[in-house]
Homo-oligomer: A and B are copies of this chain.
Amino acid sequence: MSEITVVVDALGGDNAPDVVLEGVAEALKQDASIHVILTGPEELVVSFADAHDRVEAVPTTEVIEMGEHPANAVRRKKDSSIVVGCRLVKEGRAQGFFSAGSTGACMAAATLVIGRIKGVKRPAIASVVPAPNSRLIFTDMGANADCKPEYLVQFGQMGRVYAQVALGVDNPTVGLLNIGEEETKGSKFAQECHALMKEQVPNFIGNAEGRSLAMGGFDVIVTDGFTGNVALKVYEGVGMAMLQGIKEAIYSSTKAKVGGLLIKDALSEFKKKVSADEYGGAQLLGVKGVCLIGHGSSDAHAICSGVLATAAAIEQDMPGKLTAAIESAAALGDEAGE
């Protein structure tokens, strides 16, 4: 196995840089094969590199803030931790980039600096959805607010690769997020997507409804980035509100409080099971390198998972597998077109 090098954005996330450094240190401890390049303010990254083996510091002088216009910020701030991080992947000094910073900026930098895989129309954001009793890949979660049906076809093809790598499923099933099970249901756009995916996405098994995100039944669920981002945020909101509401209910009486203490461990296990932190973040599928984006609220544990997940995607050659999937789909398309 060749050396695995992950660039980590020391400034990514609400709790950066402390939790980032802590998470990186933990990841280095857990996986002895990982090398890390840290981008960020000079004294910060140099002192961390001095104190740790297998860490290189690449000082940067600029910061992309959460509120900035992603593409503009990436074009202007060429010496930011995000842009430099992606450039290191482009130059081959690392094979993957991880940041818990601005999703838009990471996406823009990865697309503009690292570049798209040949044949990929639009990179997409994808993630494992850790439901109580199922695991599936959901994409696009917000990279492309306006989509054409052919984009969703590729999201399905790429989502299958991600499901193979992240979930270990041989021949993942793919569903289209829609508002009814029948082929003729949904918006005109959804109907066009259905028709095209049926032809061009291997193991496409039809429409998925919103419930399937939490209830399972598919290995990959595909949608446009607008619907995907709304669905993701609804999902997170309901999860948070439910746990909060249950906690309040338990605190409502002395009897329930005692019960709450007794179920505390079981509930912690459950919360861990449905926590997205275990999966390290969202992958940007379709660029010539691994790019993982962690949640802004990541703690050190989530950062550590993100670094390890980036390394795992590198080790499994996600970009190579995505390239092969897109090439073989294009070849099949050419054949069908002849």
Interface residues of A, Cβ cutoff 8 Å to B: 131-133, 142, 145-146, 177, 179, 186-190, 209-215, 223, 225-227, 229-246, 248-250, 252-253, 255-256, 258-267, 269-270, 273-274
- Tell me how far the C-beta of A249 lies from the nearest C-beta in chain B, rounded to whole angstroms: 4
Cross-chain contact of A253 among B248, B256, B266, B273 (Cβ < 8 A)? B266
Q: Could you tell me the distance between the alpha carbons of A245 and B246 in the complex, rounded to whole angstroms?
A: 13
Q: Is there an interface contact between B210 and A233, defined as CB atoms closer than 8 Å?
A: yes
Report B-chain residues with C-beta under 8 Å of the C-beta of A227.
226-227, 230
Q: Is there an interface contact between B263 and A250, defined as CB atoms closer than 8 Å?
A: yes
Q: Is there an interface contact between B270 and A246, defined as CB atoms closer than 8 Å?
A: yes
Give how many copies assemble into the complex: 2
Query: In terms of DSSP, what is the predominant structure of the interface of chain A?
Result: helix
Q: Is there an interface contact between A210 and B187, defined as CB atoms closer than 8 Å?
A: no
- Tell me how far the C-beta of A65 lies from the nearest C-beta in chain B, rounded to whole angstroms: 14
Apart from A210-B231, A234-B238, what are 10 other A-B pairs with CB-CB below 8 Å?
A131-B238, A132-B244, A146-B187, A211-B240, A214-B242, A227-B230, A242-B274, A252-B266, A253-B265, A258-B259
Asked whether A263 and B266 contact (CB < 8 A) given A210-B231, A210-B234, A240-B214, the answer is no
Asked whether A274 and B256 contact (CB < 8 A) given A227-B227, A237-B210, A237-B211, the answer is no
- Tell me how far the C-beta of A82 lies from the nearest C-beta in chain B, rounded to whole angstroms: 19
Q: Is there an interface contact between B263 and A240, defined as CB atoms closer than 8 Å?
A: no
Q: Could you tell me the distance between the alpha carbons of A238 and B215 in the complex, rounded to whole angstroms?
A: 8
Report B-chain residues with C-beta under 8 Å of the C-beta of A264.
259
Most chain B CB within 10 A, of A226, A252, A273, is at A226
Cross-chain contact of A256 among B146, B223, B255, B266 (Cβ < 8 A)? B266
Q: Is there an interface contact between B190 and A241, defined as CB atoms closer than 8 Å?
A: no
Report B-chain residues with C-beta under 8 Å of the C-beta of A236.
210-211
Q: Could you tell me the distance between the alpha carbons of A142 and B146 in the complex, rounded to whole angstroms?
A: 20
Closest to A212 in B: B237
- Tell me how far the C-beta of A248 lies from the nearest C-beta in chain B, rounded to whole angstroms: 7
Q: Is there an interface contact between B244 and A186, defined as CB atoms closer than 8 Å?
A: no
Asked whether A245 and B210 contact (CB < 8 A) given A186-B226, A226-B179, A235-B234, the answer is no
